[in-house]
Structures are given as C-alpha cells and as structure tokens.
C-alpha cells in the first residue's frame, strides 16, 4: 500500500485564489523533483481545472470550491472538488476549434491519468502525474 500524504488544501472563492493555487502547484511539483517543463504544465492543468470549476460554480451559485494536492512516492495528484453535476473527460487527438471546451482536453494530455468521480453532492476532478525514476 502506498503512503499518501495530503500536502495542502485550499478554498477557491475568487479568481485571485486560482493564481495562488497555480503557484502552490508549481512550488510543490518543483519541491518533489519534477523538471521545470512538467512544473509549468502542472501549473497550466491547475489553471484550467480551477477556471472551469470557478466559472461553473459562480454561474450556479455554488462557490466556493476546494483544491487538494496529494503526493506519494510515485505520483503527484491534484484534486478539484466542487458541488454540482458530473461530467466526463476523454482523451482525444481530434482538434476542438470551438470557442470553448479545450481545457479538459488539454489537461488529459498534460497528466498521466485524469478522471472524474462523484461523491455525494460533490464532483472530484482528479489529475495524476507520475514521477519518473531517475
């Protein structure tokens, strides 16, 4: 069984909080040894996930929402927890040329595993990036 450490939790109430969450992601990813390119991409995944959640929660009156960071010996996991309906994430190589909807597709190409899980009235978007063995 893996030893999981909950590194950090944050409540997102306004757009400035999203910037703080991006900073935390980049800092934690750097601290556990991800290369700068991966740190930047994880920062981008955080931005996309939080922006999607923020826009949905603001529109439906369900602010605030939470973000969690978990690190174990093999992976870095970012979880965005919001109240609301479930949605799906599918990795595809087709190009979305519409005005919206590229964020989840982008996330699926940045991280090694992404999935959505319903727990009660909440939906969790889980994004996992594996740590490479040196």
Q: Taking the model in full, what pTM does it have?
A: 0.87
Which residues, 6+ apart, have CB-to-CB distance to 98 below 8 Å? Answer: none
Strand order in the sheet with 113-119: 5-12, 65-71, 75-83, 122-130, 113-119
Q: What number is the average pLDDT over the span 53-67?
A: 95
Checking if the pLDDT of 110 tops 80, the result is: yes
Average pLDDT, the chain: 88
Which residues, 6+ apart, have CB-to-CB distance to 46 below 8 Å? Answer: 18, 21, 22, 25, 67, 78
Q: Are strands 122-130 and 113-119 parallel, antiparallel or unpaired?
A: antiparallel
Which residues, 6+ apart, have CB-to-CB distance to 14 below 8 Å? Answer: none
The closest of 37, 30, 29 to 76, measured between CA atoms, is: 29
Confidence of residue 42 (pLDDT cuts 50, 70, 90): very high
Report how far residue 49's alpha carbon sits from residue 125's, in angstroms, rounded to the nearest whole number: 8
* Cross-strand partners of 128: 77, 113
Question: What are the pLDDT digits (tens) for 75-109?
Answer: 999 999 999 876 656 666 666 666 666 778 889 98
Locate tokens 């934690």: which residue? Answer: 28
| pLDDT value of residue 25 | 97
């Amino acid at each position: 069984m893996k030893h999981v450490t909950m590194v950090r939790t944050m409540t997102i109430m306004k757009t400035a909080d999203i910037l703080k969450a991006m900073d935390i992601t980049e800092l934690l990813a750097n601290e556990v040894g991800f290369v700068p390119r991966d740190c930047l991409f994880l920062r981008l995944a955080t931005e996309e996930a939080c922006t999607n959640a923020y826009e949905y929660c603001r529109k439906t009156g369900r602010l605030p929402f939470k973000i969690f960071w978990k690190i174990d010996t093999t992976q870095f996991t970012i979880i965005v927890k919001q109240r609301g309906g479930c949605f799906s994430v599918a990795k595809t190589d087709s190009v979305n040329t519409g005005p919206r909807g590229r964020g989840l597709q982008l996330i699926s190409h940045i991280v090694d595993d992404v999935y959505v899980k319903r727990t009660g009235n909440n939906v969790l978007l889980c994004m996992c990036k594996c740590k490479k063995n040196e």
